[in-house]
Structure 1
Amino acid sequence: MNYMLEPGMLVRHPQQLDWGVGQVQSRVGDRITVNFEHQGKVTIDGRIITLEPVWSVDHKD
């Protein structure tokens, strides 16, 4: 599934849900850089972790 990720897409880390929603910054091969709401910028090894796309985000005011 990571092969479909493009900059700007929203994702979640399946093992780090407390990081919140992240926005893909770049994907070069299996290296995916994501800026997460509560964790900041993280580089993910796509051979190990399959990020979950987020198709809609509920905003609570």
Structure 2
Amino acid sequence: MEDLNSSLSPGMLVRHPDHPEWGTGQVQSNIGGKVTVNFREIGKIVIDGARVYLLLVFDE
């Protein structure tokens, strides 16, 4: 499967499309298709980049 988030790098701000209640998260790492994101509302989550396309946030 294709890594939908291969261009994400540490420090970028993102949102999870299926969980807007998590708020904005900051990418901590992107290794082997696994993206670790620290979300304001729930903390650190590891996301499979082949299954979820994270939305970039430009307005914060």
TM-score (norm 2): 0.91
Quote the offset at 1:29 in angstroms: 1.7
TM-score (norm 1): 0.89
Per-residue CA deviation, residues 4-44 of structure 1 (Å, 9 max, x unaligned), is 10000000000000000000000002100000010100000
Residue 26 of structure 2 aligns with an amino acid whose one-letter code is Q
Higher relative contact order (CA 8 A, sep 6+): 2
Residue 47 of structure 1 aligns with an amino acid whose one-letter code is A
Structure label with greater radius of gyration = 1
1:3 aligns with 2:6: yes
Same amino acid, percent of matched pairs:
51
Aligned to 2:45: 42
Stretches of structure 1 that go unaligned for 5 or more consecutive residues are none
Query: For 1:23, which of 18, 22, 26 is the aligned residue?
Result: 26
Aligned residues: 57
Q: CA RMSD in A?
A: 0.8
